[in-house]
Structure 1
Amino acid sequence: MPEHTLKFPELAPSGHHKMNWVTGHMPILGQIRRRYEKDKPLLGQRIAISLHLEAKTAVLAELLHIGGADVAITSSNPLTAQDDVAAALSERGVQVHAFRGASDQEFDQLHQRVLDIEPTLIIDDGGELTERLHGSRSALAAQVLGGAEETTTGVLRLKALARQGRLTYPMILVNDADMKHLFDNRYGTGQSTWDGIIRSTNLVVAGKTVVVAGYGWCGRGVADRARGLGARVIVTEVNPVRANEALMDGHQVMTMEQAALLGDYFITVTGNTGVVRQEHFNAMKDGAILANAGHFDVEVDVRALKQLAVATRPGRSSEVTGYEMPDGRVLWLLAEGRLVNLAAGDGHPAEIMDLTFALQALSLEDLLEHPREAGVYPVSPAVDAWVASIRLQSLGITIDELTPEQTAYLGQS
């Protein structure tokens, strides 16, 4: 039996209930699972995974194990591991090293334990495994056949490694696939971010001003859901094209310095550091709520916020902390500035992650069937199209096909 690093193994029954629920709402993975049970396409592989360890992720890890692989998993964020799900997954044949609330040192140790499996394939989120495989565990990198990256932040880190000529194995950029970023980033992040904010605060959104920093696909989703909840939306951007998009989508566009005076909610979705910082805290109104939906906890400058505060106070839930400013204003920070949709919620809906995790599993298969040199690669168009088609099929939706005349007219014959 595999070894595990868990805090509360007795919580497994709750985790099994969660996994069973989402399994029933992930038909694409269900179809892949039926094939994996029979064909075992991953037999002999050792897969290391760093993803937010909640129920949908657990279903993916179990699927890869059913496909024949030895699988070890940890969480890609110290606050996004769900202890009951981790315990349940450990009872389903997957090696689990994860618990909620890990310190920085513990977080690194958990990743090191996952890499002890000596992976031949990886699934990464934010480049956590890749960073170690090119640093403290570089001796293991030579046997890695490749992997898949989940996030915008991770893609940026991989492209930087590739430009520097330092990336030692091929990585498929799942985040950039149409069936990922158009749905997971936009609709998944849009809904789950607000799920986390509303669950932890229990406050109304309608009639308030929401400031969204960043108008990539994730920012679009957050802004669109805010407007749907009745908020006035301000977008801050550094990219003039995206700023024009936000403007023509009906949002106000201004600098964070200007928006700081107006916002009731501030949500960062940029993948960058120091987006909301000291000069902005000094200008915010009493009661402003700060949340981050980007991968790392650096977008809201939490260190500066703590240095400014003269006192802290508890909020409605454990995910809400109030920082009292010298003039008596209180700014409320959610989930310690970490990913609010997972640290204060359950992450993206199951139907959304069904798309992304199907791309992950199929991309690993594609790497085995079509080996590549070290570098970054897009998801195969055939894989993307298959996931899209199966999604429609699962909903009972059919679409038109080109006639022979139309195919010839478009020059595709």
Structure 2
Amino acid sequence: MMKKRLRLHILFSFVTLLLISGLSGCLTKDSSVYGQERVLEYVDSICPEPYELTGTELIEETPDNMEYEFRTLKRDLTFHANSFLSPIWIDATQTPFYSRSLSCDYVTVVHDLYRDELKQVLEHDSHYMPEYGWYYLLSFQDIENAVDTLLAADQVYRQELSYNPPEFLTENPLASIHFVWHRSEVEMEAHESWVNMTDIGITGQNSRRELYDRLAGVYAQLYVDGKIDRDDVPEEYLAGRHVSTLHTIRLNGREMLYDSNDNPYGPYGLTTDDYRYCWYSKELDSYMMVIDIGLITDNMSFPLIIREYVRALGGSYEASARESVYSSTWKIGENTWSMKAEYDDNTIHSLEIEKNREPLELSWITSDDDIQVAATFCAGVTVEDFCSLFDLTYTVNEEEGTISFEQK
């Protein structure tokens, strides 16, 4: 098996190398780099303020690296752009082929103007951890002080609005502060365990209300999820919240393990167990489940989530594929469901499900809509719609982190 995989790996790398050489036009270290016109277009996309080109220099040869020097007109700020050949790597091995690349240090140069002042503001707060770029909370009450520090940091970067539009600051925050929760100062000093909260960018445009509500909301959600065990969250921030993820799924009293690994449709194992969870969607105000779309193939692993439930309910399941159309049928008792999905280019173009030849009014989301769906060949459905695929009812126990399905 190892030899087979090694041969396949070598073959894949060789094919990839040939493909790259064809697509790149066989660029080598002797090839030319992008010219000045392309460089100026690139710099225009990065630097909104007026500037002028002050010089060029070929700083490396074979492969070439042409450096361009610029100066902004309002504040005489010098920055550089480079047009160069970048080596192509495959599996940590450099190939003899190259691609044309561009770089520009304008954003870094702008940020350098404010770094020292930002450092002073942040390090004035004892809860800021400069060695990590983190800010720690010990209690809900610490949020107020954290917001004060963030707003002071924002004032530093706000000066840049004299030269660049708000969108530039939003897209290029001066820093990103990572927030964590610690149970105590002792735990913080040990730096061995913590609860990750969120990251907040210094954009020069944050408001007190937005910052406070964001940190308070994250803190409250972590408390509801049982990750923060300090009971100090005001009720107003707990109202309407649900446990983010239910990790235990039961069907007719038995836990669903998603552990079937027999795959009659291909040589690889199944990935069904990757989707053994139920999550809450605030946007849809519902708990959600992942379903597969009946995709089967002989060139990769895939999940058979629906089959897992059909088997557990004593039913039968079949799937087939024709080009980019995937069809599956399952029968439980006297009822028969059929699904047809059109999928290619990592996109679900259509998904239709019938029960006893009558269409089911079922809505679904993709991994583009919610990362919890986790795969482009899967869909997310509400637990109500999930139940309609098998004639089930459900109950949720958030304290236990459990969703229980029962056959009607």
TM-score range, shorter chain: under 0.3
Bigger radius of gyration: 2
Greater strand proportion: 2
Higher relative contact order (CA 8 A, sep 6+): 1
Give the TM-score taking structure 2 as reference length.
Answer: 0.20
